[in-house]
Copies of this chain bind each other. A is one copy, B any other.
Amino acid sequence: MITITQEDFDPGVYINAARDRQVGGIVTFTGIVRDDGITAIELETFREAALQELEAIRDEALSRYAIQSVDIIHRIGTLSVGDHIVLIVVGAPHRRDAFRACEYIIDRIKETVPIWKKEYTNEGSRWVPGEHT
């Protein structure tokens, strides 16, 4: 499942859903708003393009690695320190593939999915510079 949502999520629900007779290991990445002296962050997306890109990343991961399932949830809107930002859940027969695929997916999300973050501090706000062009 690929979702972009304002709603919070419970990672446990998606780990549970990834259980399968062929799955021996589930690796998850949960991105959290870290306290970098901020009061809040705001996430903006080009939703249609972002969903399309997330689906492409999922399909690439499924074809590159021996994995069984991929779920990605990305939040948008205003978030506070400690809030969930993103969840990636990868189920695989063997753990190596699950680790490789999960890290591949989060790396690709940070490279190409049209989502942007604006940080708010007591001094003002700034757009977080992307790492890739």
Residues of A within 8 A of B (CB): 10-13, 15-16, 19-35, 81-82, 93, 95, 98-99, 102-103, 106
B21 touches A30 (CB 8 A): no
A13: B residues at CB distance < 8 A: 12
Number of identical protomers: 2
A33: B residues at CB distance < 8 A: 24
Chain B: minimal CB distance from A78 (Å): 18
> Whole-angstrom distance between the alpha carbons of A82 and B49 in the complex?
36
B21 touches A82 (CB 8 A): yes
> Whole-angstrom distance between the alpha carbons of A15 and B34 in the complex?
15
Beyond A12-B15, A27-B29, A99-B99, 8 additional pairs, beta carbon < 8 A: A11-B15, A19-B32, A22-B34, A24-B34, A25-B29, A27-B102, A28-B30, A99-B102
A30 touches which of B15, B20, B34 (Cβ 8 Å)? B15
B31 touches A25 (CB 8 A): yes
> Whole-angstrom distance between the alpha carbons of A4 and B19 in the complex?
21
> Whole-angstrom distance between the alpha carbons of A13 and B25 in the complex?
18
B29 touches A95 (CB 8 A): yes
Nearest to A94 among chain B residues (CB) is B34
B21 touches A81 (CB 8 A): yes
